[in-house]
Structures are given as structure tokens and as C-alpha cells.
Chain A
Amino acid sequence: MIYDPPKPVIKIRNLVKSFGPFTALSGISLDINPSEVVCIIGPSGSGKSTLLRCTAFLEEYTSGEVEIEGRLLGYRKTPAGMVRESERNIDTARRNVGMVFQHFNLWPHMTVLDNVTLGPRLTKGVPAAEVSEKGRIALAKVGLADFTDRYPSRLSGGQQQRVAIARALAMEPHVILFDEPTSALDPQLVGEVLDVMKQLANEGITMVVVTHEMGFAAQVANRVVFMDRGQVVEQGSPDKLFNEPESPRLQEFLDTWRQRNLLFRSEPQQLVAAC
């Protein structure tokens, strides 16, 4: 029997992104396979978000390739080199990619249901009633079935982010990119968003999550990718990465994180002593 490896949903090859003289990504290669949950961790400025944004082509990459389900995103190969695709073709190529942003980015002038259904209504050519029904189902999935007619400004941050997740789900994407989905939330609201994400992971939705939530990465990820200075330094199972880190940079990163966590959990006296 011939082993047929799964075709990656996202295939990234030698991805480079420069902002003027600054190189944010220096040659990243990464595959995301169907039903995989990949968490990307790393210090601030390591290029995690830039990688995600290039994968969605919200940021034009400088060189390399991003393929979504076998289709090159953003550029077209010609004998003369890579030529930028038309906006329409870019929209088609990333039709199956959903995204959830750090700052939710809901549209404040629309109700929660309209936020969730605008994309499908305008782009999928499905009857309005069906779109509405699917929107309600998506909202129910994130636990906000009773909030359809509210405006985003009347919701808590956690609820807003769950609406944003429902909005991504309503497009029925094959992969969802999460760009630090809990970083803008008050600590007590982080849990409700992570719970929804865990549930999606259990349902087999392919997810790429840039996060600072190590606990989430350890529990939910199939694979953790550690980035630093625009490179993938180390990747592997959460168990391996968190318990037997190989590279000194990852060890250092995890040490810093553990120390900070220790400080947060300490009693005031210990905190003073630690300082």
C-alpha cells in the first residue's frame, strides 16, 4: 500500500517579509495539515503576527511562497517572475481562510447577527433566510444565541471576540487563523474565548493560533512552533517543546515565562522578596 500523506491546507516556503531595512521574516517554511491545531509562540517582535498576516495576504510578502490548498496566494508565477494577483483572485484564493484578530475588528454599526452574516450574504449567493439560519447556528456555537440583535459596543470583550469567531465560522472556512485572540482581553474573560477555541479544535477545525497562552498551547495544540527573530527556531509536540526544549533561545523564553508566572502566583511577601 502506498502511503498518501495529507495535503497541507497551508504550505509556506522560504517566506521573507521586509519592512524597509527591517527583516520581519527571514525564510519561514511551514506546513499546516488538515485538522491540525498549530500554536505559534515566541517573544514580541519575533514575527508571529507578521507570519499570520502574510498567510492571509493582509501583508504582501517580499519573497517565498504561500499556498492555500495548492493555490499560490497573492502572486502568479510568470516567466518574468512573480506578478501580483488581482484583488479578485486574491479573494478567491483565500476564500477558505478565516481570521480572528487581536482587537476583534467587529463592525460597530451592525448588529451581532449582521456582523456574522454580512460575508456569506454578499459573497456566497445563498438565500437570505439560509444565511440568517447559519449565522444563528454559528452564534449558538460560541454561546451567544441570545445576542443576535445587540450591537458590539454593548458586549464585553470576551463576547465580542466570540462574535468574531462566529463571523469567521459563518464563512465555513477550511482553516482559521487566530492572531493573539486573547491578548486584548481582561484576564477573567480569556477563559470563555479559549473554551470556544478548544471546542473548535475538538471538532477538527484546522487552526493556526498565535498566542501567549502557554497553557492553551500545551493542552490543545498538536504542534507548537517557536519563533524568534523572524525564524522558526524549534517546533514539535507541546510535550516535547515545553518539557525538553533544545534550543537555548526557547529555554530562555520558557524560563522568562515561568519566572513571570511564579511572580504572579506569589504571595505579596514573596513578591517583595523576589524583587
Chain B
Amino acid sequence: MTQVFELWIEYWPMLAAGLATTAWICALATMIGIAVGLLLACLDGARSTILRRTVRAYIEIMRGLPILILLFVLYYGGPGIGLRLNAETVGVLGLGFYGAAYFAEIFRSGFHSIPKGQIEAARMAGLSAGQIMRHVKLPQMLALITPPMVNQIIILIKESAVLSIITVAELTKNTAQFVNETYAVVGPYLAAALLYWLLVEAVALLGRTVERMVRY
């Protein structure tokens, strides 16, 4: 066991760098995912049929696609159409736009939870669509959608491990490197597991705090 700890200490800089990369990529991807997801959910309620169908198609395609295939297409197929992105950018965009489809569904269920009459009352009070969103819909649905949002962010963090396949030096990739250099297996992966758990727990904690704040 002492050997394991010694290895951990020796490879700590590599693990820490991997954890940091995983954290910032996931943070950016979450922001994109939530912003695009909210936009998609709003467009899904639009009056235009074409707009609605496009949004539905986007969500269905993204949900039907393994994230790895999306990343491969972006990373290896991108240059073919003049889209030359580095691995981290592909990671952020891939995870972000992939997650957006799921976040959109969470927002959509949130919107559906607001009784139609409340929206009508807001319209009769002269509120614009944006004001209705900001003052009537979002504050009420936040408490409801926070738990599934946190869940989705956690899934996103764990899915980010596949970025190791497209050469992003994140936690899983660096752990594999750690394994290759030391021929140890359990020790490095145990460290990775603990660090992922730490990250996920931090997000869960943040989620619980938000949940308490938004309850009315």
C-alpha cells in the first residue's frame, strides 16, 4: 500500500494536470450545453413549424449518436471540410453541443411544468416572451430542473473520459500514461476514480446549494 501512495505522490503533477483539464473542459462544455439547450428548448416552443422540426431533429440525432462517433467526426473528419480544431476545442464543442440536446429536454420538461394559465396571465399583464421567461418560468422551474441538471452535468463529466481517445490530455489519458510508465494498474486507476468522484461530488454539492437557494 505504501508503494501505491509513493506512486501517487510521484505522479501527482500528472494527475493534477489531467484533473484540471477535465475540469475546465467540462465547465466550458456545461456552459455551452446549458446555453444552447435553453435556446433549443425556447425554439421548440416557437410558432414556426420549420424551426420546431429542426430543433426536434437536432435533439433526436444527438441523442441517437454515441458521443465517441461525434468526436471522431469532428476531430478526424473536420479537416476534410476545412474545420481544423485542436483536440481540446473538439472536446469542449463536442461535449457541449452533445449535452445541449439533453439539457434542452430538461428545460422543456421544466417549461411544461408551468401551468398555461400563468403564462396567459403574464401575457395579459403585458409581459414579453423574454420577460415571461425571466420572471415567471425560470424562477419556478429552477427548483424542479436543478436535480436532473446536476445529473446531466455528472454524466457529462464521466463521458469526458472518451476525450482521451482523441488525444486530449485529461484525467483518463494521463492516468493511462501513468499506467504505461509504471506498469501499475490498480493504483493509478484507483487514483483516477477518486479524483472523478471528487469532481462529481463537488458538482453535486454545488447543485444542492443551488437547490436550496432557488426554493421559494
Whether A91 and B117, one on each chain, are in contact in the complex, defined by CB atoms closer than 8 angstroms, is no
CA separation between A212 and B197, bound complex, in Å? 61
Select one of B120, B125, B131 contacting A167, CB under 8 A.
B125
Comparing B17-25, B62-70, B134-142, the segment that makes contact with chain A is: B134-142
CB distance from A275 to the nearest CB of B (A): 37
Interface residues of B in 100-130 (CB under 8 A from A): 115, 117-118, 120-129
- The reply to whether the CB of A147 lies closer than 8 angstroms to some CB of chain B is no
Given A105-B115, A107-B118, A108-B140, A94:B124 Cβ within 8 A: yes
Contact with B along A241-265 (1 / 0, CB 8 A): 0000000000000000000000000
Select one of A101, A109, A118, A167 contacting B117, CB under 8 A.
A101
Whether B131 and A122, one on each chain, are in contact in the complex, defined by CB atoms closer than 8 angstroms, is yes
Given A101-B120, A118-B135, A109:B216 Cβ within 8 A: yes
Contact partners of B121 in chain A: CB under 8 A: 99, 101, 105-107, 164, 167
For the complex, count residues of B whose C-beta is within 8 A of A.
Answer: 19
- The reply to whether the CB of A98 lies closer than 8 angstroms to some CB of chain B is yes
- The reply to whether the CB of A191 lies closer than 8 angstroms to some CB of chain B is no
Given A105-B115, A107-B121, A91:B136 Cβ within 8 A: no
Whether B129 and A87, one on each chain, are in contact in the complex, defined by CB atoms closer than 8 angstroms, is yes
For the complex, count residues of A whose C-beta is within 8 A of B.
Answer: 26
Whether A123 and B124, one on each chain, are in contact in the complex, defined by CB atoms closer than 8 angstroms, is no
Contact partners of B120 in chain A: CB under 8 A: 58, 99, 101, 105
Whether B135 and A91, one on each chain, are in contact in the complex, defined by CB atoms closer than 8 angstroms, is no
Contact partners of B127 in chain A: CB under 8 A: 118-119, 122-123
- Can you list 30 pairs linking A and B with CB atoms under 8 Å apart? A56-B124, A58-B123, A58-B124, A87-B128, A87-B129, A91-B128, A94-B124, A97-B124, A99-B120, A99-B124, A101-B120, A103-B115, A105-B115, A106-B118, A106-B121, A107-B118, A107-B121, A107-B122, A107-B136, A109-B216, A118-B125, A118-B135, A119-B122, A119-B126, A122-B125, A123-B126, A167-B121, A168-B124, A171-B125, A171-B126
* Residue in chain B with minimal CB distance to A95: B126
CA separation between A119 and B124, bound complex, in Å? 9
Whether A91 and B126, one on each chain, are in contact in the complex, defined by CB atoms closer than 8 angstroms, is yes
CA separation between A115 and B100, bound complex, in Å? 33
Given A58-B123, A99-B121, A109:B128 Cβ within 8 A: no
CA separation between A103 and B115, bound complex, in Å? 11
Contact with B along A109-131 (1 / 0, CB 8 A): 10000000011001100000000
Whether A88 and B128, one on each chain, are in contact in the complex, defined by CB atoms closer than 8 angstroms, is yes
* Residue in chain A with minimal CB distance to B123: A58
CB distance from B38 to the nearest CB of A (A): 19
CA separation between A151 and B123, bound complex, in Å? 21
CB distance from B129 to the nearest CB of A (A): 6
Contact partners of A171 in chain B: CB under 8 A: 125-126
Interface residues of A in 163-217 (CB under 8 A from B): 164, 167-168, 171
Contact partners of B139 in chain A: CB under 8 A: 109
